[in-house]
Amino acid sequence: MSAFSALWLTIILSACAQVFLKRGVTRIGSGAPFSYVSLLKSPWVWAWGISFVLATGLWLIAMSRIQVSYAFPLLSISYPIVAVLSIFLLGERIPASRWMAIAVITFGVALIYRSS
């Protein structure tokens, strides 16, 4: 696998992991008292854990071959991915001011991406 493929898969899996975790802990916290056992029973929390482990493994591949000053800022491209996923999977509403902030960050990431 190429380092850039590993990097982009890391970004996508990391974004998905955040939404999976939010979905898992939100369902647990909606009525029943919090417990670690209920966390372990949540398929969303398991999806988060698996995504996180896979993303970490892919990140190791990417970091072994790409400069950290290039790769690490690109992780920020997960912000718009998380925002879109949170709309469809979590039913969140995102105000225009937050979209503007995400756009500014994404523009900065595009500048870094072009520098390769």
pLDDT tens string for the chain (116 positions)?
999 999 999 999 999 999 999 998 886 666 666 777 888 888 999 999 999 999 999 999 999 999 999 899 899 999 999 999 999 999 999 999 999 999 999 998 888 888 77
pLDDT at site 31: 65
What pLDDT does 93 receive? 96
Per-residue pLDDT at 28: 66
How far is the C-alpha of 105 from the C-alpha of 72, rounded, in Å?
A: 13
Q: Which residue has the tokens 């995504």?
A: 51
Q: What is the pTM of this model?
A: 0.85
Listed by start position, the domains of the chain span 3-114
Task: Report which of 102, 90, 75 is spatially closest to residue 20, judged by C-alpha positions.
Answer: 90
- Identify the pLDDT of residue 109: 87
108 in helix, strand or coil? helix
Res 32: pLDDT? 64
